[in-house]
Structure 1
């Protein structure tokens, strides 16, 4: 299947999940608001979710997929034995780690909770309870990631891309229940507990969903006694550095939690709500591209087919920027409008929406860089090199932390977002330079020219949006039909101006589409 079709399959299903996620966050903002129970819930949910993204979807998948594909070339029986060896070791580690974290939850949350949350005994106890209920989600999703990695390696991307929809359906169920109850602190607390239960239930459902599709594909993982075999040791040696290489975005989120600890009540919710808008293009484009190209890159590199590997990498970068740059520009200029229209109301005040909109604009400064990290790091992982991305990620984190100390005292939570964006661009600069110096990849002149034209088209779109925002500002404070009309105008102007620019500048033509549609072998 071609790169464009693979990304389209993963991205379209991710889009469905993100739409459910938006509905979830709209209800979450209106039912829980910002601060208090809302911050307690965000803290309780972010811990297992960040661990999932960092270790399971990031490090584990990046280390497992190239090795699994290598064993597949030796025969499916070898790949099954390798998967069984990994599962036998992974399962007890997850059980022990989960038990320790649940027992230590009061102290773990204390390390990240701000002064307002720590000072409210009842709300803090609720956060601990929610954290303990939700944390098993990590174990179920880590096992689900193993199954998803196998399915992706077999070029069956749809099931794994659709699985997160189940999480959002479960969370929406809990939120709808909370929305129809009488407003008050008791309802918010009960809704928070319901959300925590929904998270863990969704983990079970996603694991069962993926396992069914794996069996349908004719693959079964044999489970034996835990044993540290040579192949498991090899994977373990790859996972540790991959935590930093593939998970720089998630690590920066952990750093954010540490700095948010000293910020006013509500800051955690502002960052989480803003990140939802940033995660929309990042998930649909960045994660989809990274997931789609890693198995193919692994196959090309194992066959020493450097020409095809470079072609695939160049196509991925071009497609990533074609889709991501206009998203970043549009959200930078009009992100506050989306927050105001879709999230403001009931418990989520106009001031909450204003601050969240500012954080959205700051976050998306780094959006193209976050996507490119997902696109470039597979070039290292496909070569079983998980160390180099560690060094680049470490450098970017040093920049992020230094900027946090400079910006957070002045800009608050907005400074956190800007610092993370700057660190991501440092990471991209280093990754690209190292790939070029080692002769693994260099941007063809054709792609460089297209990237310049993409920037020009996006800049024209940005100018049009800037003028539009001045004209529709009164609509954003008007009736709901006026607000929806404003959002429709933003969408139409964005599509029309960027689309026209892409055609006029020759960014999109028949040859480009044919190149992206070329089948991966």
Structure 2
């Protein structure tokens, strides 16, 4: 399981790295002006519905059922084909409706937009909304690939998207094209490329899907029953994001600040949290089908331990050196010092919530592997109320950063509920002695690393602000933090170096 997590995490690291390169170019070309904000809102629309329908709700219901059919030798191919046909027709209708309703969707996303920002967002949104069709089908095919433990192919898909975006921006800069329109048209092009890649990968496993009429089989009815609450839970999560953008839309540049900060904290979240969630869900589903409670408990504990071992120091680093990170990585071209300070503030707040966002990915598979999508929905509903109350209530006091605080605090509220609900489950949902022993030591090692990072940042302040030395200085700062964390962690027993060497060999 850890080997699979490292495979997904490695590819996700490449994905987040290329995605960051994409955003650095976007920040340099567009800054935080009207075109940048309009595109970010337009691009977030198909991605929001993708997480709502496909990657969140549908896959959380589809993957456990599909994995269990594979484990039990049932007709997994027919089930996947029926799910494919049903999704195609639903998504076609949804794409047409969403494109026609784009002005209302943009208003729902960012009612603070007016004039140029609003008109551009509507134009970009109509061009890019068809992405929801392609990427949702990609999510289904990726679920099939991960159930067959073909993690590399599924994890390469986001990398492909980022490479297409980088190439498109380079071509637009060379040819003198309008950068905003180029980015908008690149969105559906990436969707076609991603779908073609995953379709070929799934076909190599014997899943050659074509367009056909959907059949409402008993299995699809059961899938719909399970997916219903998961869709609602996914909708609650997206409402939380929607509230954040609404709050930010009333401050010029804030939508871009939140987006650029989001890219940085998504790096550890994707590498660790999403990788573990991707692997843990089919793993727990198979073990439940086989009646292996002890194996399920060990998988859950090692996944949680591995996640926090990498996430807690990353969270501390994002809070302690937020300004140097944003300054060195983003501040150039149209992205100025004021943008750096605002983005760093949001990044530090998101950093405080990073462990919560990762623990979501560890705890939720406990419920979805049992086909329990109702409990996460109820928890998400409570989390939504917390998020809306904090975002609206703190806006007069904190301004645009209220959106980030609401996201972080509601994330921790969600973790508390997931943990409390998991306590009623069988043995595999309980933390074992090794986890309870190592967690406080991981926290102590992360705190010591934070102190070392702060001191090193003061010493390196000059090079961090020098034009040609800022990248080497930031690299040295990160290396100091890594060395401090692993040295202290090994010394106090937060983890064993033999464990890390075993992971490296795998």
TM-score, length of structure 1 as denominator length? 0.93
Provide the C-alpha distance between the structure 2 equivalents of 1:59 and 1:228, rounded to a whole number of angstroms.
Answer: 19
Which of 123, 129, 149 in structure 1 is aligned with 2:143? 149
Q: Deviation string for 1:442-477 (max 9, x for gaps)?
A: 111220110100000000000011112222223333
Sort the Cα spacing of 1:343 and 1:297 in 2 relative to 1 into closer, same or farther, 3 A: same
Q: What residue in structure 2 maps to residue 462 of structure 1? A: 450
Provide the C-alpha distance between the structure 2 equivalents of 1:8 and 1:422, rounded to a whole number of angstroms.
Answer: 29
Q: Point out where structure 1 has 5 or more consecutive residues left out of the alignment.
A: none
Q: What residue in structure 1 maps to residue 225 of structure 2? A: 237
Q: Is the 8 A contact 1:396 1:424 kept in 2?
A: yes
Provide the C-alpha distance between the structure 2 equivalents of 1:110 and 1:431, rounded to a whole number of angstroms.
Answer: 33
Sort the Cα spacing of 1:8 and 1:73 in 2 relative to 1 into closer, same or farther, 3 A: closer
Provide the C-alpha distance between the structure 2 equivalents of 1:385 and 1:270, rounded to a whole number of angstroms.
Answer: 37
Provide the C-alpha distance between the structure 2 equivalents of 1:16 and 1:515, rounded to a whole number of angstroms.
Answer: 22
Q: What residue in structure 2 maps to residue 71 of structure 1? A: 69
Q: Is the 8 A contact 1:370 1:424 kept in 2?
A: yes
Q: Is the 8 A contact 2:56 2:230 kept in 1?
A: yes
Provide the C-alpha distance between the structure 1 equivalents of 2:422 and 2:234, rounded to a whole number of angstroms.
Answer: 16
Provide the C-alpha distance between the structure 2 equivalents of 1:139 and 1:232, rounded to a whole number of angstroms.
Answer: 20
1:118 aligns with 2:106: no
Sort the Cα spacing of 1:510 and 1:277 in 2 relative to 1 into closer, same or farther, 3 A: closer
Provide the C-alpha distance between the structure 1 equivalents of 2:342 and 2:464, rounded to a whole number of angstroms.
Answer: 16
Provide the C-alpha distance between the structure 2 equivalents of 1:139 and 1:82, rounded to a whole number of angstroms.
Answer: 20
Sort the Cα spacing of 1:249 and 1:511 in 2 relative to 1 into closer, same or farther, 3 A: farther
Shift of 1:486: 2.2
Q: What residue in structure 2 maps to residue 450 of structure 1? A: 438
Provide the C-alpha distance between the structure 1 equivalents of 2:364 and 2:32, rounded to a whole number of angstroms.
Answer: 36
Sort the Cα spacing of 1:472 and 1:181 in 2 relative to 1 into closer, same or farther, 3 A: farther
Q: What residue in structure 2 maps to residue 420 of structure 1? A: 407
Q: Is the 8 A contact 2:124 2:181 kept in 1?
A: yes
Q: Point out where structure 2 has 5 or more consecutive residues left out of the alignment.
A: none
Which of 160, 168, 186 in structure 1 is aligned with 2:162? 168
Provide the C-alpha distance between the structure 2 equivalents of 1:358 and 1:223, rounded to a whole number of angstroms.
Answer: 48
Shift of 1:180: 4.2
1:260-409 matched pairs, under 5 angstroms: 260-261=248-249, 263-409=250-396
Shift of 1:417: 0.9
1:435 aligns with 2:435: no
Q: What residue in structure 2 maps to residue 62 of structure 1? A: 60
1:93 aligns with 2:90: yes
Q: Is the 8 A contact 1:289 1:375 kept in 2?
A: yes
Provide the C-alpha distance between the structure 2 equivalents of 1:128 and 1:119, rounded to a whole number of angstroms.
Answer: 11
Which of 465, 489, 493 in structure 2 is aligned with 1:477? 465
Q: Is the 8 A contact 2:15 2:162 kept in 1?
A: yes
Sort the Cα spacing of 1:298 and 1:246 in 2 relative to 1 into closer, same or farther, 3 A: farther
Which of 119, 123, 129 in structure 2 is aligned with 1:135? 129
Sort the Cα spacing of 1:35 and 1:202 in 2 relative to 1 into closer, same or farther, 3 A: same
Which of 42, 46, 49 in structure 2 is aligned with 1:48? 46
Moved more, 123-132 or 21-30: 123-132
Provide the C-alpha distance between the structure 1 equivalents of 2:384 and 2:272, rounded to a whole number of angstroms.
Answer: 23
Secondary structure of residue in 1 paired with 2:380: helix
Provide the C-alpha distance between the structure 1 equivalents of 2:499 and 2:211, rounded to a whole number of angstroms.
Answer: 46
Q: Is the 8 A contact 1:52 1:138 kept in 2?
A: yes
TM-score, length of structure 2 as denominator length? 0.95
Q: Is the 8 A contact 1:245 1:377 kept in 2?
A: no
Please give the root-mean-square deviation of Cα atoms over the aligned residues, in Å. Answer: 2.0
Moved more, 315-324 or 344-353: 344-353
Moved more, 387-396 or 95-104: 387-396
Aligned residues: 505
Shift of 1:410: 1.8
Secondary structure of residue in 1 paired with 2:469: helix
Ranges of 4+ aligned residues in structure 1 off by more than 6 Å? 514-519
Shift of 1:406: 2.5
Q: Is the 8 A contact 1:167 1:203 kept in 2?
A: yes
Provide the C-alpha distance between the structure 2 equivalents of 1:378 and 1:518, rounded to a whole number of angstroms.
Answer: 27
Q: Deviation string for 1:49-108 (max 9, x for gaps)?
A: 1211232111111110011122223436x1111111111211110000000000010121
Secondary structure of residue in 2 paired with 1:118: coil
Shift of 1:295: 0.8
Shift of 1:250: 4.1
Secondary structure of residue in 2 paired with 1:438: coil
Sort the Cα spacing of 1:252 and 1:350 in 2 relative to 1 into closer, same or farther, 3 A: same
